[in-house]
Amino acid sequence: MPDVYPKVDALDGHDLVGTRHLVAPLESAALYNGPPSEGAELKPTSANGTRVSWEFDEPMRGGVWVQCAYGHNALRLSRPLPMAPTICVAKYGKELAPQPRHIDFSCR
């Protein structure tokens, strides 16, 4: 029986962690100082219900990376942000809590 979802082998500009097929939507987003494989996850400056934010006084030495998790962490995509942000905000959709499937993510 053929797979309903094609297997993802590589995505340009992303580090791919996980080998199972993508069968669930986006669940979470996190920021890291450098590649997530180095384990330096950044603690949010504030978390208020469906809004999480990170503020930066100075550029991160390893650069800021964003990682999005899908399907109970079956697939995690990460990439460096193209600029040194001063603030990043993730807004999770209320209607799908506690496991949100819609996240508005922005940095400036």
Give the type of residue at 9: D
Unique residue bearing structure tokens 């297997």:
7
pLDDT tens-digit profile of 95-108?
544 554 678 889 99
pLDDT confidence of 6, banded at 50, 70, 90? very low
What torsion do the CA atoms of 52, 72, 104, 101 make, to the nearest 10 degrees?
-120
Whether pTM > 0.85 for this model: the answer is no
Strands (E), 1-83: 15-17, 26-33, 46-48, 51-55, 64-70, 75-80
Identify the three-state secondary structure at position 37: helix
pLDDT tens-digit profile of 82-91?
999 999 999 8
What is the reported pLDDT for 8? Answer: 43
pLDDT tens-digit profile of 21-79?
545 567 788 999 999 999 999 999 999 888 999 999 998 899 999 998 887 788 899 99
**For residue 56, what are its two tokens?**
């930066």
